[in-house]
Amino acid sequence: MADPLYGQLTDALRTRIIEGLWGEGDRVPAEAELCREFGVSSITVRRAVANLVAEGLLVRWQGRGTFVTLNGGIVQGPPQLTSFTDEIVSRGWQPGARVISLRTEAARADVATKMGLKPLAQVTVLERVRLADGVPVARQIAHLPALLFPGLDRHDFEHESLYDVLKNAYDTRPTTATEIYRAINVDGDTARLLQVEVGSPAFNVERVSSDASGRRIELVSSVIRGDKYTVAIRLSATKVTT
């Protein structure tokens, strides 16, 4: 296979699905088996599979494997509450981050409202550029209640996952979240950080996460490059009316 290998492998695996060699509900061969069959590396297999997950042809089930899905529900978006780091890994990329700033300040009115905080409550603001294989793919600004998470500035968020820190240092984890996706064009400052042209298409994604008690613990706004990120949603009708 010529470069890029994962693109050609994506085509080969897609053909198997389209031609019916792999049918609805079939389990895709394990990563090691595909590596041997096609003579490629594991990262090439992971990227190809991630492409087909994004297209809605495959779905991953934790602990079970990857399956063909032609009539399933949401297969990407993502279907589970995961960190950005985990999502980058699931797409076959090496995650990374560059911290722009980490500060504590009084919450703006809109931030306080969305997080259910009192006006001017203190929030810790973590702003990062998220990387995939060293390439900037997203600009993220996370707001967290400073009262709940004191000392976040002691952590190295260029090498530590925020969700891992919340879990390990504060015994807190997000269990539910709401995400809103909007299509935007990248402005000057964000374009510079993401290394794209001003006006390039992107997703603006706002997530509000809550813990098991329903307490809002995070508001994060992300601008994600449209050429590096795909959202695919498969829909099925539960009742057909005429």
Whether the Cβ atoms of residue 137 and residue 165 lie closer than 8 Å to each other? no
CATH number at residue 22: 1.10.10.10
- Residue range(s) defining the domain that contains residue 24: 5-68
pTM of the model: 0.68
CATH code, domain carrying 193: 3.40.1410.10
- The CA distance from 188 to 180, in Å, is 23
Strands, DSSP E only, in the chain?
A: 58-61, 65-68, 95-106, 122-132, 135-145, 176-185, 201-210, 216-225
What is the average pLDDT across 208-232?
Answer: 88
pLDDT digits (tens, 9 = 90+) for 143-172: 999 999 999 999 999 999 999 999 999 999
Q: How confident is the model over 43-61, as a mean pLDDT?
A: 83
Q: What would the mean pLDDT of 203-229 be, rounded to a whole number?
A: 91
Asked if 57 and 103 sit in the same domain, the reply is: no
19 within a domain of the structure (yes/no): yes
